[in-house]
Structure 1
Amino acid sequence: MPATLNSGKTTAALRTSARVSLDLLLVIVLAAATLWLLGRMWSIVWPLVVGLLLTTLTWPPTRFLRRRGWPPALAASVVTVLFLLVAAGIVALIVVPVASESGELTDGVVEGIQRLREWAAGPPLNIGDDQITKGFDTAVARLQDSVGSAVTTVVAGVSTVFNGIVTTVLALFLMFFFLKDGPRFLPWLTRQLPGRLAVHVPVVTARSWATLGSFVRSQAFVGLLDAVFIGLGLWIVGVPLVLPLAVLTFVSAFVPIVGALFAGFVAVLIALVSNGLTDALIVLAIIVLVQQLEGNVFQPMIQSRGLGLHAAVVLLAVTLGGSLAGVVGSLLAVPVAALIAVAWNYLREQLGDPDETAAEPEPSAGA
């Protein structure tokens, strides 16, 4: 009898394990199908994501105007125009000072190349001008041999720029419509969904919206910290174009990894051609120090508090997103992880045990 009982328990456990494994396999298949569908629709999904992120950034002033009695269309139009003006001002703040210093920067680049040639000609390299000329001729010959691949690369680059322009225009239009009609979305969604979905999905959507806003604000704060500390370091060293470099650092902070590398490269290059190798190395050390503090201390702490995620989860999410989808994966990894956490927390709330206080007996009249 005990052996039969144990056999029945083993069979039941195996059936439960098989059912759980089948459910897990079904979830994995559905997730893979969803990712494949998103990949096929990426030309629409990516502008939608960018538009949502821009909307979280511009919704507070729109909400302020709407609470003051402005019509939704007028408030959305004004905020959209102001956003475009601010973006154009940021571009001008970077481009105009750089253009005004272009002559000195060009002379500095030429002088830097000449110093590099003089350094290469001395010990221990002892590279003469004839060797440099020969190497240059070899590079030109290889470039001529690879004209076809170069043309392909140029065409791909032009296509990427064109797709970026289309994505930006679509994202701006979507941002305007989100600002104008966003508050109508949840009531409309509630009317479209059947049964209990009309209750659960709007709640998860509202929490997800709040989480996206927290992500954008925390990213902006991290970029501001980078811009302040790196700009202060450049000012102390005496590097020109401090303000444009600080603005570039702030803007590039919204593109993880590649943005920081690009802004750091530009700052080191300007320090090299204007102040020399020693100051360029000092600037490089400042940028590496600030980026390490930002990536390992500031960003995980700020985003973990704002998004409800542990700092280790933020680091792992950025690493996984970058390995799976490059720059776009790094940009979307943290908000996607936060949205998954929002959905999981709500599901856990719904599936959790009921309030224990409701099960307690009513106190007696004497008590």
Structure 2
Amino acid sequence: MEKKPQNTAGDRNKNPAPQGSKWPDKTIIRYITRALVLLIIFAWALVNLDVVLRFLGKVLALFTPFLIGGAIAFLINVVLRPLECCWNKVCRKAPAKLVRPVCLTASTVLVLGILFAVVFMMIPSLRESGEEFVQNIPLYVEEIGRWWTGVVQFAAKYNIVLPEYTIDSDLLIEKLTALISDEGSGILTVTWGAAISVLSVLVDVLLGLVFALYLLAKKEVVAAHLKKLVVTVLPQKKAQRLLSIASLTNQTFTNFVSGQLTEAVIIGVLCFFGMLILGIPYAGAVSAFVAVTALVPIFGAWIGGGLGAFLILLAEPGKALWFILFLLVLQQVEGNLIYPKVVGKSVGLPGLLVLMAVTIGGEAFGILGMLFSVPVCAVLYSLYLEFMKKASARH
């Protein structure tokens, strides 16, 4: 057997230690430097939190029209895609150049038309209900007086003395009319002032709508440029991963919006026919409002139902109680059957996680958190399942 040659001192000097064993290591120094810089920036931001928040507010204000435009474009695109598919099936002989302009115009008109229809249905109904309530005040006062007289007589049997009931219905009508229409302090004046204060928001919405229409008209070109930018800037693996997550996010949000719109239509139709059967007034306006607010997951229909109950209460207080009972039954059907099957199934999210996402999102970010918490949670849940699948495959 041949003996292996032993390493001499000269050989050890010729074979230096691996580079990774040298100190200080450049990579470690670089990481430590970045961590220190980030820590200093974070500490400065905490000390000057007001300045940072003002700066972020100004930056957000600059990009608000584009963010609103992106949201509008996404919403219209949910309607645009099926319309283009129908156009391609029905109008095969039509010029290809007409597909996008015609379908985009129809989608925009349909979405904006529904929103304006709901608004213009609710405002006249609210005004009519308020006028009817003022006219019926003498009847309400008389009924309350009879009820209170019965209560006083019942209490007198047990030697309980209650104060007498005295309400001047004419004075009450005068006060309510002044509250509604008085100049400078009335509800209409305050409402008009609030409308003027949101003028800047309307301007942002209009700019966002223009931006959304441009995005939708050139969405394939914009998507191709963004994809090229990602592939150029990032390494191949990271770029593919980012594009995969973006595709998953887009599909999840699309499924969520489609499911939410389907659920809103279902609950609106059920509310409309139920109110007609029970003889509850303002069936069309209240059902449309309930359907629109149902876009907010789980709790949205309660918001619309509360406003609808207030509207009915002004006109016919007795019917308001029936509407609340009917809404309780409708919410049970919506929460246990419609929402888990339509929305939860569309995003691939269990019902328990849907409830948790809506609750946490609402507590953290209000109405917007309730709107977007479900699809965000669905994306995270899908990434979690993918991670667990890869981890189990390694083992």
- What TM-score comes out, normalization by structure 1 length? 0.69
User: Residue in 2 aligned with 1:236?
Assistant: 277
1:202 paired residue among 229, 243, 254: 243
Label 1:266 to 1:151 Cα distance change in 2 as closer, same or farther (>3 A).
closer
User: Residue in 2 aligned with 1:18?
Assistant: none
2:84 paired residue among 44, 50, 62: 62
1:160 partner amino acid: V
Superposition deviation, residue 115 in structure 1: 2.8
1: CA distance, partners of 2:118 / 2:175:
36
User: Residue in 1 aligned with 2:301?
Assistant: 260
Label 1:86 to 1:316 Cα distance change in 2 as closer, same or farther (>3 A).
same
User: Residue in 1 aligned with 2:23?
Assistant: none
Structure 1 residue 283 and structure 2 residue 323: aligned? yes
Return the index of the structure with the highest Cα Rg: 2
1: CA distance, partners of 2:358 / 2:278:
32
Structure 1 residue 173 and structure 2 residue 201: aligned? no
User: Residue in 1 aligned with 2:357?
Assistant: 317
1: CA distance, partners of 2:122 / 2:219:
39
- CA shift digits 1:140-173 (9 cap, x unpaired): 89xx9x96xx99996555333541x234324433
2:259 partner amino acid: S
2:333 paired residue among 286, 293, 299: 293
Contact 1:256 1:327 (8 Å CA) reproduced:
no
User: Residue in 2 aligned with 1:160?
Assistant: 198
1: CA distance, partners of 2:220 / 2:56:
26
2:70 partner amino acid: L
2: CA distance, partners of 1:166 / 1:258:
29
Superposition deviation, residue 113 in structure 1: 2.6
2:347 paired residue among 307, 324, 328: 307
1: CA distance, partners of 2:199 / 2:334:
30
Which stretch of the first structure deviates more once superposed, 199-208 or 215-224? 199-208
Matches within 5 A, 1:1-367: 40-41=59-60, 43=64, 44-65=66-87, 68=92, 74-87=98-111, 89-90=113-114, 94=118, 105=129, 108-122=132-146, 123=148, 124=151, 126-130=164-168, 133=171, 155=193, 158-160=196-198, 162-163=200-201, 165-193=202-230, 194-195=234-235, 196-256=237-297, 259-269=300-310, 271-272=312-313, 276-346=316-386, 352=391
Superposition deviation, residue 271 in structure 1: 4.2
Contact 1:90 1:247 (8 Å CA) reproduced:
no
2:229 partner amino acid: Q
- CA shift digits 1:199-257 (9 cap, x unpaired): 22222212211111100111012112211221121011123443343333322322457
2:250 partner amino acid: W
Label 1:159 to 1:116 Cα distance change in 2 as closer, same or farther (>3 A).
same
- CA shift digits 1:26-66 (9 cap, x unpaired): 9xx8xx99xx7986526243442343233233322235546
Contact 2:291 2:301 (8 Å CA) reproduced:
no
Superposition deviation, residue 282 in structure 1: 1.2
- What TM-score comes out, normalization by structure 2 length? 0.64
Runs of at least 5 residues in structure 2 that lack an aligned partner in the other structure: 1-34, 47-52, 152-162
1: CA distance, partners of 2:176 / 2:212:
51
Label 1:70 to 1:139 Cα distance change in 2 as closer, same or farther (>3 A).
closer
Percent identity at matched positions?
22
- CA shift digits 1:181-216 (9 cap, x unpaired): 223344333322332233222222122111111001
2: CA distance, partners of 1:63 / 1:151:
48
Contact 1:62 1:75 (8 Å CA) reproduced:
yes
- CA shift digits 1:82-139 (9 cap, x unpaired): 2343245436755777788789746532344333322333414853135994998799
- CA shift digits 1:270-292 (9 cap, x unpaired): 54455x43332111111122124
CA RMSD of superposed structures (Å): 4.6
